[in-house]
Amino acid sequence: MTSLASARGEVLLSEKKFYTFAHPPDLFTLESGVRFGPITVAYETWGELNREKDNAILVLHALTGDSHATGKYHPDDRKEGWWAGAIGPGLALDTDKYFIICSNVLGGCQGTTGPSSINPATGKPYGMSFPVITIRDMVRVQRELLRHLGIEHLRMVIGGSMGGMQALEWIVNFPDMMDKAVVIAVSARMSAQGIAYNLVGRRAIMNDPNWNNGDYYDKEPPRNGLALARMIGMITYQCAESMEMKFGREINCEKEEDLFRMDSRFEVENYLYYQGDALVRRFDANSYLYLCKAMDLYDVARGYESLVDAFSRVQAETLVIGISSDILFPTYQQKEIVQALRAAGKKVYYEEIKSPYGHDAFLIEYDKLNPIIKRFLEK
């Protein structure tokens, strides 16, 4: 498959592969101390690993992302992977030069072991018996995947949002494993406001009677709850300006008096309903709960005396990117990362993308993002 990556003009093809480890009794010890296994990791790769094995880049996905970061599984697929604008021949993460790896996170629902996976001990999905996991656990699982792929050193780790959390955990916990790191639109620890947003998303799911304490895999899933969690999330991924630009107060009423119906819908409402429904078709509600909890627990400094102390371990050169209109991870949080890395005496660069698109800009503004990443990577 990977040889197609360099065929300019052709479709970049993807194949989802799997690696399973931590078979009993050799279980994987989570940050919580819980021993857990087996763990299957779903991953995809593009480009070719060179003979020196020094051209690998690990791409880290956000909350509802997956291993399908770019390309198509089949030439007829309607959509490409979630970061197709950044990963491909001639792009910032150039598949002609680099071996790009992306895996679905632990706790996810796109092939990697998560709450919807079958617990081999019971023959039933884990549901809420799945252990609470952390961003650090996700990263340690990725480390096992790289070992399996024979990769002992990465050219770079890169991710935005929850992917950025993973990138920071990578440079702190496996400091000699990479030359560079790109950390986009994230903080060094989840903020109180971020925890609050995640809480209301989780409550939306748990309030849905179909959630049934996580036991719904042979029943009707909590569609309304997960859709509402997504609608809440989508507001925080944008900003006042981008929503005003896109939707304003547009409303589609056949008759003027329809405006005054409780079920009249402004365009922004139609959009949120659409986004909620779209997520329900591809995502597991319990995974949403576990991944949000992992984000809440995220604090790169946990186990260290301070953030600067944690960062004193770092060996990678780091590029931190903020988005001017991000309301979920405002730019002061990226500047805090930069200051702490500097205080620890590390090489760090900061770039701010001026964008009206809010947090989601890292999935939209390729014209601004690609040159910054390319310059940093090839410097």
Residue ranges that bind a copy of itself, judged by CB under 8 A: 30-34, 128, 131-132, 134, 189-193, 195-197, 199-200, 203-204, 207-209, 224-225, 228, 231-232, 234-235, 238-240, 243-244, 246-249, 257, 259-262, 266, 268-269, 272, 289-290, 293, 296-297, 299, 327, 330
Q: How far apart are CB 243 and a copy of itself at their closest, in Å?
A: 4
Query: In the complex, what is the shortest distance from the CB of residue 219 to a copy of itself, in angstroms, rounded to a whole number?
Result: 15
Give the nearer residue to a copy of itself in terms of CB position, either 93 or 105.
Answer: 105
Provide the minimum distance between the beta carbon of 350 and a copy of itself in the complex, in angstroms, as a whole number. Answer: 19
Burial 239-248 (b: 16+ CB within 10 A, else e): beebbeeebe
Other CB atoms within a 10 A radius of the CB of residue 194 amount to: 20
Largest distance between two CA atoms of the chain: 70
Q: Which residues are catalytic?
A: 161, 326, 359
- In the complex, what is the shortest distance from the CB of residue 352 to a copy of itself, in angstroms, rounded to a whole number? 17
Q: Residue 338 and residue 196: Cα distance in Å, rounded? A: 25
First to last CA, the chain: 29
Q: Which is nearer to a copy of itself, 7 or 240 (CB)?
A: 240
Going by C-alpha positions, the residue among 233, 259, 316, 284 that lies closest to residue 108 is 284
Nearer to a copy of itself, 1 or 206 (CB): 206
CB closer to a copy of itself out of 218 and 257: 257
Contact (CB, 8 A) for 368 and 336: no
> Nearest-CA neighbor of 320 among 142, 137, 188, 173?
188
Residue with Cβ nearer a copy of itself (100 or 204): 204
Q: What distance in Å separates the CA atoms of residue 331 and residue 336, rounded to the nearest whole number?
A: 9
What are the residues facing 58 on neighbouring strands? 101, 157
d(Cα 364, Cα 358) in Å, to the nearest integer?
10
What residues form DSSP beta bridges with 110? none
**CB–CB of 187/334 below 8 Å?**
yes
Q: At what angle do helices 285-297 and 192-206 cross, to 10 degrees?
A: 160
Phi, psi of 323 (to 5 degrees): -115, 125
Q: How far is the CB of 270 from a copy of itself (least distance, A)?
A: 10
Beta carbon nearer to a copy of itself, 297 or 341: 297
Residue 279 C-beta: closest distance to a copy of itself, Å = 14
* CA 110/CA 138 separation, integer angstroms: 14
CA-to-CA distance for 190 and 300, rounded, in angstroms? 9
